């Protein structure tokens, strides 16, 4: 009867005890709670919420539901970064080697794309031979040698989260800040890190559409990290338009390489540098924010970050020549230009619709089990604020044999917003939670 009593308490809005939360997570892990009881508890949580204390208990219990990385033999503070997901967000591929070049140990556990948002693992797997399914010993060895590693969640990391997330996805219980917090932070705590930098996206292409919601999520995750002894900071960044000029998998790796060579788009470069500098400061590798910024810019300008990326590819089984010759990442052969329907200033490029267009081409997945086509995607040709004539190119759709092209083109056309005056400047960073 313990499960029913705990569900009833949450349903009635009563505060749970730490043992109640532990029993819930244990039931998800060992199967003693059937799906219908777990689903009832999830729905009660969505409707009644959780206190900061309950959320911290849930996060810690989920982190303890499986194995945890032992990084004790590695000297220095271990720092990770997590993004809540966006369109064209490839900063992890850039900032991890930049921070490593500055002496930070970066164990990064990333995810796959789902829906309109891209996944870091899908991007890296477009590199021939690149492995994201590494064992604990391999992870530590690569961190010792390179300073950074990017891997997927193993079967024994936070297994309670895996079962609960699968249920949340089919029971309309995804949109809960305590549940989102516990899902994200439990996996981060299991990495054995000392500090974490969060990039919480806000806008049309983000899961958090409003600044208020993004701030609530950021504060919840920062508190959960702090209560678990992990120094956590969050930046709130804009996701109304795609980040950079590449949306897809192979094409985003190419843009990441260009950025590490000092030739990337300004927004991608600046956000990557900003997040990497936060990591360097939290790792104690810089005396001040200004010193951290200087160090990561030097790592970019000198090519040290690029060399770390090349070594990470090689150590994770990928073809290191891709870093020198990104054209080895073969893009699909089809090209379709989406043009401005009339004259005007490009005032907006809806990130959600661009992300959905890329997914329609095959760059994303509708279900966790679906496969992606690494070679398809979208190239942004016109920048926000540009004065366009009717028929000027705005987006280039990269497709394979026309698969999904009609739907993608329709979505891409809907994403284009034109006006009679240039848009007001949009700050990349719209908030900060520490």
> Is 264 part of any domain?
yes
Residue from 82, 163, 278, 310 carrying the catalytic annotation: 82
* CA–CA separation, 13 and 86 (whole Å): 33
Q: Which residue, among 153, 159, 158, 173, has the nearest Cα to 38 in the 3D structure?
A: 173
Q: Mark whether 161 is an active-site residue.
A: yes
> Is 126 part of any domain?
yes
Interval 22-26 mean pLDDT:
97
> Is 400 part of any domain?
yes
Domain boundary among 293, 326, 359: 326
For position 170, what pLDDT does the model report? 84
For position 402, what pLDDT does the model report? 97
Q: Residues with Cβ < 8 Å from 74, sequence gap 6 or more?
A: 105, 140, 143, 144
For position 366, what pLDDT does the model report? 72
Q: Residue 118: pLDDT above 90?
A: no
- Average of per-residue pLDDT values in the chain: 95
Residue from 168, 223, 310, 399 carrying the catalytic annotation: 168
pLDDT one-digit tens code per residue, 390-403: 999 999 999 999 99
| Number of domains making up the chain | 3
What CATH number has the domain bearing residue 314?
A: 3.40.1030.10
> Are 307 and 363 part of one and the same domain?
no
For position 156, what pLDDT does the model report? 87
**pLDDT band, very low/low/confident/very high, at 326 (cuts 50, 70, 90):** very high
**pLDDT band, very low/low/confident/very high, at 355 (cuts 50, 70, 90):** very high
> Are 284 and 335 part of one and the same domain?
no
Q: Which residue, among 379, 403, 395, 365, has the nearest Cα to 122 in the 3D structure?
A: 365
> Distances from the Cα of 52 to the Cαs of 63, 100, 181, 228, 234, in angstroms?
17, 33, 10, 12, 17
> Is 57 part of any domain?
no
> Is 90 part of any domain?
yes
pLDDT one-digit tens code per residue, 158-207: 999 989 988 997 898 988 999 999 999 999 999 999 999 999 999 999 98
> Are 220 and 150 part of one and the same domain?
yes
> Are 119 and 241 part of one and the same domain?
yes
Residue from 23, 187, 188, 310 carrying the catalytic annotation: 187
Question: Do 396 and 337 touch, CB atoms closer than 8 A?
Answer: yes
Interval 408-434 mean pLDDT:
96
Domain boundary among 300, 326, 352: 326
Q: Residue 150: pLDDT above 90?
A: yes
> Are 134 and 255 part of one and the same domain?
yes
> Are 23 and 91 part of one and the same domain?
no
> Are 231 and 355 part of one and the same domain?
no
Which residue range(s) make up the domain with 258? 79-326
Q: Residue 330: pLDDT above 90?
A: no
For position 371, what pLDDT does the model report? 87
Interval 209-234 mean pLDDT:
95
> Are 89 and 209 part of one and the same domain?
yes
> Are 203 and 217 part of one and the same domain?
yes
Tally Cβ neighbours within 10 Å of residue 59: 31
* CA–CA separation, 248 and 119 (whole Å): 9
For position 207, what pLDDT does the model report? 86
> Is 190 part of any domain?
yes
Q: Residue 240: pLDDT above 90?
A: yes
> Is 227 part of any domain?
yes
> Are 286 and 188 part of one and the same domain?
yes
What CATH number has the domain bearing residue 352?
A: 3.90.1170.30
Q: Mark whether 295 is an active-site residue.
A: no
> Distances from the Cα of 117 to the Cαs of 35, 85, 205, 230, 373, in angstroms?
28, 6, 8, 27, 14
Between 340 and 162, residue with greater pLDDT: 340
For position 176, what pLDDT does the model report? 92
Residue from 39, 110, 176, 183 carrying the catalytic annotation: 183
Return the sign of the alpha-carbon dihedral for residues 30, 36, 40, 42: positive
What CATH number has the domain bearing residue 19?
A: 1.20.970.10
For position 428, what pLDDT does the model report? 95
> Are 309 and 361 part of one and the same domain?
no
For position 1, what pLDDT does the model report? 66
Q: Residues with Cβ < 8 Å from 386, sequence gap 6 or more?
A: 345, 346
Classify burial at 172, counting beta carbons within 10 Å of its beta carbon; exposed 0-12, middle 13-18, buried 19 or more: exposed
> Are 26 and 121 part of one and the same domain?
no
172 backbone φψ class: left, alpha, beta (φ>0; ψ -120 to 50): left
pLDDT one-digit tens code per residue, 262-317: 999 999 999 999 999 999 999 999 999 999 999 999 999 999 999 999 999 999 99
> Is 71 part of any domain?
no
Percent of the chain with pLDDT over 70: 99
Q: Mark whether 90 is an active-site residue.
A: no
Residue from 20, 89, 122, 161 carrying the catalytic annotation: 161
pTM score of the predicted model? 0.93
Q: Residue 348's beta-bridge partner residues? A: 417
For position 368, what pLDDT does the model report? 67
Domain boundary among 265, 300, 326: 326
């Amino acid at each position: 009867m313990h499960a029913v009593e705990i569900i009833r308490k949450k349903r009635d809005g009563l505060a749970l005890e730490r043992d109640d939360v532990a029993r819930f997570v244990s039931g998800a892990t060992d199967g003693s709670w059937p799906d219908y009881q777990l689903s009832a508890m999830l729905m009660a949580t969505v409707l009644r919420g959780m206190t900061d204390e309950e959320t911290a208990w849930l996060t810690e219990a989920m982190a303890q539901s499986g194995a945890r990385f032992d990084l004790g033999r590695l000297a220095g503070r271990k720092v990770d970064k997590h993004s809540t997901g966006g369109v064209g967000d490839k900063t992890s591929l850039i900032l991890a080697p930049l921070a490593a070049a500055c002496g930070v140990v970066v164990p990064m556990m990333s995810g796959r794309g789902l829906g309109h948002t891209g996944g870091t693992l899908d991007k890296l797997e477009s590199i021939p031979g690149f492995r994201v399914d590494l064992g604990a010993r391999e992870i530590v060895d690569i961190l010792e040698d390179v300073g950074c590693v990017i891997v997927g969640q193993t079967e024994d990391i936070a297994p309670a989260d895996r079962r609960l997330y699968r249920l949340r996805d089919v029971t309309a219980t995804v949109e809960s800040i305590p549940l989102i917090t516990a899902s994200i932070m439990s996996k981060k705590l299991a990495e054995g890190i000392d500090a974490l930098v969060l990039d919480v996206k806000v806008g049309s292409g983000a899961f958090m559409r409003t600044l208020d919601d993004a701030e609530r999520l950021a504060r919840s995750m920062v508190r959960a990290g702090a209560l678990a002894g992990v120094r956590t900071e969050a930046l709130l960044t804009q996701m109304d338009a795609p980040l950079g000029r590449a949306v897809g998998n192979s094409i985003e790796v190419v843009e990441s390489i260009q950025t590490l060579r000092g030739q990337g788009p300004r927004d991608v470069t600046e956000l990557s540098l900003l997040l990497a500098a936060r990591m360097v400061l939290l790792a104690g590798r810089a005396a001040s924010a200004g010193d951290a910024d200087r160090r990561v810019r030097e790592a970019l300008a000198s090519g040290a970050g690029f060399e770390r990326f090349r070594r990470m590819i090689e150590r994770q089984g990928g073809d290191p020549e891709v870093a020198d010759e990104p054209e080895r990442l073969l893009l699909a052969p089809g090209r379709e230009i989406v043009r401005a329907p009339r004259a005007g200033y490009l005032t907006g490029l809806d990130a959600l619709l661009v992300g959905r267009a890329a997914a329609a081409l095959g760059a994303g997945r509708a279900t966790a089990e679906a496969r992606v086509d690494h070679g398809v995607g979208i190239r942004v040709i016109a920048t926000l604020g540009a004065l366009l004539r009717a028929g000027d190119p705005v987006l280039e759709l990269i497709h394979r044999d026309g698969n999904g092209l009609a739907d993608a083109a329709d979505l891409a056309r809907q994403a284009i917003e034109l006006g009679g005056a240039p848009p007001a400047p949009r700050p990349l960073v719209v908030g900060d939670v520490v």
